[in-house]
Structure 1
Amino acid sequence: MAQVTAKMVKELRDMTGVGMMDAKKALVAVDGDMDQAVDYLRENGMAKAAKKADRIAAEGLANVYVSGNSAVIAEVNAETDFVAKNDKFQNLVQDITTLIATNKPANVEEALALTTEEGTLSDRIAEATTVIGEKISLRRFEIVEKTDSEMFGAYLHQGGRIAVLTVLEGANEEVAKDVAMHVAAINPRYVSREQVPEEEIAHEEKVLTEQALNEGKPANIVEKMIKGRLNKFLGEISLNDQPFVKDPDMTVSAFAKANNGSIKSFIRFEVGEGIEKRQENFAEEVMNQIKK
């Protein structure tokens, strides 16, 4: 009998979305053959979860949960944007975020092993995959802690298409939420220009120099142009320097300062960002159906 290792169990779980014990049981039953283990799971009532496992889940919802001085921002993916309107999926996303906030796992793997009333979180997600009919996965999360003098700001755009969590020193919840709304709309990359890595500044300076030289500007003018354009670039990517969406006559940092606050940090999750979405060829799909 082949030895069933933890690596094999994890691989099967990643392929099928089933719980750890179900994956191990299937591998033991088929003497460690991965393909047969997938068939075993399908034959024993987990066909939907298994068949959905190779699909691309780039839609879904992001959510923010705040409790006292702790907060969680998380993204849960599904295959289509229609599932975001499904009550079962919405409840699942809220429950996952709350569970993470309560238990504070270190990473996604630890989160999936957390215990729920339906077994592990991985088991519950697999069950939801079967019931809802789409591949569902916990993609990422961040746990944020603050002090008593700091304030969380939470904002969900389009019900969770974009989720933002900000931390401000001072101010109040409404101000922190307004800053989160700005982050959702403008998508800054850093809180301040001081946070921009030196290598990123050097790269941008090189690009701007080439642009100026290609414009045929004299060398003594190029240096001044670079300084001005680099300053503009840093202002565009830094939250503090951006014109505030609700009042473009002041910067975001000026808005926070006017309300006795300063911005400490922000996290912005946009559902599906960075995931290569599968392009469906509907004509080809129809032809394939006709041939069957």
Structure 2
Amino acid sequence: MAEITAATVKELRERSGAGMMDCKKALNETHGDIEAAVDWLRTKGLAAAAKKSSRTAAEGLVGVAVAGTKGAAVEVNSETDFVAKNERFQDFVRSVTAIALESGVADAGALANQAHPSGGSVQDVLTNNIATIGENQSLRRVAQVSVSKGLIVDYVHNAAAPGLGKIGVLVALESEAPADVLQPLGKQIAMHIAAAFPLALKADDIDADLIERERAIAAEKAAESGKPAEIVAKMVDGAIAKFAKENALLSQLFVMDNKTPVADVVAKAGKDAGAAIALTGYVRFQLGEGIEKEESDFAAEVAAAVGAA
């Protein structure tokens, strides 16, 4: 059995939103397996379904840049928020985002090998920055989006500087409608994406492994109802349909009115403009997604709870 440490309990609490003692019990039940513990908590109704963490567990910046029908997003991490406010660091993220946009590469390793205007490669400049600033930094990821006609619209939430912040969004609108129609529509959709955190553009695009995991959780919950097998099967199908609808961008309710599906908002905008508009893709980068950093005070609190149990 894996050792259940204060750090493990802390991580499970942050991911699930459950109480410390419930997290410890879940880890005991699942022999220290965090993924299994998350599912255990959810089957017991102790964690929110499909909880999406809003914690930014690493520092740094997300950069976005657009040029008409194409856009790029980049995430560069640092150890502290202090470095993220450093002008040298911001200039680096801004320049790397521009290089990503121009080159069209969608792989962090390939981007690191691109030439940098200041001389050498992107990686060379990053290495020099680490030595100069005195803090580790990393080029974590890059994504591209484009349309054949129409507009790519960018949006940064919690902007630290133009095009730089903690959440960066790109929206791809395929259309012959003019930019003065597409730009405000794209910005509203980008703000929705920043807030609603869709998992995919369409329900069919949601990761199959994630769907199966949700199905297993729904099946265990439904089985506890004691209803006949055919009713349980319908309950599971209904739960999965609801999950997909709530997590696919086009079927999510638009945050601006909380009643109209995003697909209908786009369709109406196209009708009003006299030119069809298609939302064909998006990118959402949130700083530090999937990266954990220690918080010593809270870890001490958890350690005390674990020791007392």
| TM-score for both structures, normalised by structure 1 | 0.70
Instruction: Determine whether 1:168 maps to 2:176.
Output: no
Shift of the 139–249 alpha-carbon distance from structure 1 to 2, 3 Å rule, reads same
Q: Which residue of 2 aligns with 1:253?
A: 263
- Contact between 2:67 and 2:152, CA under 8 Å: does it hold in 1? no
Counterpart-to-counterpart distance in 2, 1:60 and 1:239: 27
Indicate whether 1:266 and 2:282 are aligned.
Answer: yes
* Per-residue deviation, 1:265: 1.1
Residue 136 (structure 2) aligns with: 135
Q: Distance in 1 between matches of 2:92 and 2:67?
A: 18
Q: Does 1:210 align with 2:220?
A: yes
| C-alpha deviation, 1:90, in angstroms | 1.4
Describe the shift of the 1:205–1:99 C-alpha distance in structure 2 as closer, same or farther (beyond 3 A): closer
What does the per-residue CA deviation read over 1:88-113, in whole Å, with 9 as the maximum and x for residues that have no partner? 22111111111222233463233223
Report the count of equivalent residues.
Answer: 227
Are the aligned partners of 1:153 and 1:179 in contact in 2 as well (CA < 8 Å)? no
Classify the secondary structure of the residue corresponding to 2:260. Answer: strand
Deviation at 1:202, TM superposition (A): 4.0
Give the 5 Å matches for 1:1-292: 58-105=58-105, 107-115=107-115, 116-148=117-149, 150-159=150-159, 160-170=165-175, 172-260=182-270, 261-280=277-296
Whole-angstrom distance in 1 between the partners of 2:104 and 2:58 = 25
Q: CA deviation at 1:223?
A: 3.4
Report sequence identity in percent: 36
Distance in 2, Cα, partners of 1:70 & 1:206: 39
Q: Distance in 2 between matches of 1:282 and 1:128?
A: 32
Aligned pair in 2 of structure 1 residues 84, 229: CA closer, same or farther (>3 Å)? same
**198 and 161 in structure 1: CA distance in 2 versus 1, 3 angstrom threshold:** closer
Relative CO higher for 1 or 2, CA cutoff 8 Å, sep ≥ 6? Answer: 2
Q: Distance in 2 between matches of 1:239 and 1:147?
A: 21
Corresponding letter in the other structure for 1:179: I
Contact 2:112 2:123 in 1 (8 A): yes
The 1-side partners of 2:263 and 2:146 are apart by 22
Amino acid corresponding to residue 206 of structure 2 in structure 1: V
Letter in 2 for 1:134: E
Contact 2:145/2:281 (<8 A) preserved? no
Q: Tell me how far apart the structure 1 counterparts of residues 243 and 185 of structure 2 sit (CA, whole Å).
A: 26
List gaps (5 residues or longer) in structure 1: 1-56, 285-292
Separation (CA, whole Å) in 2 of partners of 1:124 and 1:60: 16
**Which whole-Å CA distance do the structure 2 matches of 1:282 and 1:182 have between them?**
32
Taking the aligned partners of 1:219 and 1:119, their CA distance within structure 2 comes to 64
Q: Taking structure 1 as reference, are residues 265 and 89 closer, same or farther at Cα in structure 2, changes over 3 Å only?
A: same
Measured after TM superposition, the shift of residue 77 of structure 1 is: 0.9
- What is the one-letter code of the residue matched to 1:216? G
Equivalent position amino acid for 2:78 in 1 = A
Distance in 2, matches of 1:191 and 1:259, equals 18
Q: Give CA-to-partner distance per residue, 1:221-271, whole Å, 9 cap, x none.
A: 323323332221111111111111111121111111111133211111111
Q: Deviations over 1:156-213 (max 9, x none)?
A: 1111101111112236021112111111111110111122355544443332222112
Q: Secondary structure in 2 aligned to 1:119?
A: coil
CA distance, structure 1, for counterparts of residue 260 and residue 61 of structure 2? 32
User: What is the CA-CA distance between 1:58 and the residue it aligns to?
Assistant: 2.6
Tell me the C-alpha RMSD between the 2 structures. Answer: 2.5
SS of equivalent to 1:165: strand
Unaligned 5+ segments in structure 2 are: 1-56, 160-164, 176-180, 271-276, 301-309
Bigger mean CA offset, 156-165 vs 78-87 = 78-87
Q: Higher Cα Rg: structure 1 or 2? A: 1
- Aligned AA (1:137): S
